Homo-oligomer: A and B are copies of this chain.
Amino acid sequence: MNKTKFSLEQLTVAYQLLRWTVLVTPVAVVVGSLVALFLWLLEVVTQLRWQHEWLLFGLPLAGILIYWLYRLGGKQADRGNNLVMEEIHQPGGGVPARMAPLVLLTTIITHLFGGSAGREGTAVQIGGSMAGLIGKKMGLSPEDIRILLMTGIAAGFGAVFGTPLTGAVFALEVLAIGVMRYDALIPCLIASVFADIVCSAWGIHHTHYSITYISQSFIKEIPFIHLDLWLLGKVIVCGVAFGLSSFLFATLMHNIKHNANAYIKIPWLIPVAGGVVIIILSYIAGTTDYLGLGVSSKSSDGISILAAFDANSSVNDWSWLWKLVFTAITLGMGFKGGEVTPLFFIGATLGHTLALWLGAPVDLFAGLGFIAVFAGATNTPIACTLMGVELFGTNHVLYFAVACFTAYYFSGHAGIYSAQRLEVRKLR
């Protein structure tokens, strides 16, 4: 009896794993390749924008173009990440295949003309729409398509940041607040590992961040306590600040979107107004460093994510707030792209500033902000802790977790994805 049960159950698992490996391979190849194309284009248009500063003045017109492309492409696709997540919660009309080219093209346009936006939203939408298309072509059941959509998110996320484990856990964790289900874990992991390999095989390299700080207690063996408690206290304080800035970002973006729709009656005027505001703001800020992706800057002494890891860079006390406002306006007023890379920027620069105030290691706290503001805004503390490990190495995993979990609690119950379900309240 036990033996029968064994052979049946384990054979089923083996069969299912092989089946899913076969099913997710085309998803991984297509999504990994499209993400590679996307990242390459992003690099090209960023260089173009750096060489031709006047492109910024085209931002209002670019907004009209994006509005028009989505009008042409169909209203559903405009709902982006939320549509992918809703289709996983409750399969309905499916994720349209045209979402992938639409979001890719409009994100590239946004970046070419200087909108402040990210990459993950685009990669996730490419992943979701391609997975949906492949699932339909293969004639899968709705339940299988549901899992395939999750592998699409994992593949897109894993490939775009070069962090496959984070991609897989993110796909499971992002769907709901307060709970994570494991049923699609292995298909998601296979998809994100494959997609990352495919993306790398196209010659895409990911930015390398480095935290050289090593906690005291790792060097000298302190007899009592193998944790730097003072440092831990600072991490908690910063975790609260990271969570509040996630909350501020999500609230500001929702309010801008809501008010823009309420007060500007002609829809194509919304991105035009957004573009004009961005142009004005970049003059007030006196720099173009808050435009675009922000991973690196045009000038070697500019403000960027990489600069945030350097204690002597030109990152200032308000860099995080500038980026927050630029991004909330860009994405709240009709431009396209992800939220996550700007969240990295906001977190890394805020961590940089707080570290200088508190007398803490700047590179470690920039890394903590990088992952924790993202954890707070997307309600994915475990994926973000793992991202810290994948991007920055393992010595500081406890600090990564404390920062991400604290930010998760202090970011409120809203987050940037309206389709995320609140299943278990954060604290009772």
Is the CB of A265 closer than 8 A to any CB of chain B? Answer: no
CA distance A232 to B190 in the complex (A): 11
**Contacting pair B405 A394 (CB below 8 A):** no
With contact pairs A6-B247, A397-B389 given, residues A405 and B179 touching in the complex (Cβ less than 8 Å): no
Chain A contact residues: over half helix, strand or loop, or mixed? helix
Is the CB of A372 closer than 8 A to any CB of chain B? Answer: no
For the complex formed by this chain, how many copies does it contain in all? 2
**Contacting pair B12 A183 (CB below 8 A):** no
**Contacting pair A390 B397 (CB below 8 A):** yes
**Contacting pair B427 A183 (CB below 8 A):** yes
With contact pairs A164-B398, A165-B397, A227-B193 given, residues A427 and B247 touching in the complex (Cβ less than 8 Å): no
Chain A 379-405, CB-CB to B under 8 Å as 1, else 0, gives 001100110011001110110011001
Contacts of A203 in B (CB 8 A): 223-224
- Total interface residues on A, CB under 8 Å, equals 71
Smallest Cβ-Cβ distance to A182: which chain B residue: B178
**Minimum distance in angstroms from A286 CB to a CB of chain B:** 30
**Contacting pair B393 A251 (CB below 8 A):** no
Q: Which residues of A contact B (CB under 8 A)?
A: 2, 5-6, 9-10, 12-14, 16-17, 20, 143, 147, 162, 164-165, 168-169, 177-183, 185-186, 189, 193, 196-197, 200-201, 203, 223-227, 229, 232, 240, 244, 247, 251, 255, 381-382, 385-386, 389-390, 393-395, 397-398, 401-402, 405-406, 408-410, 412-413, 424-428
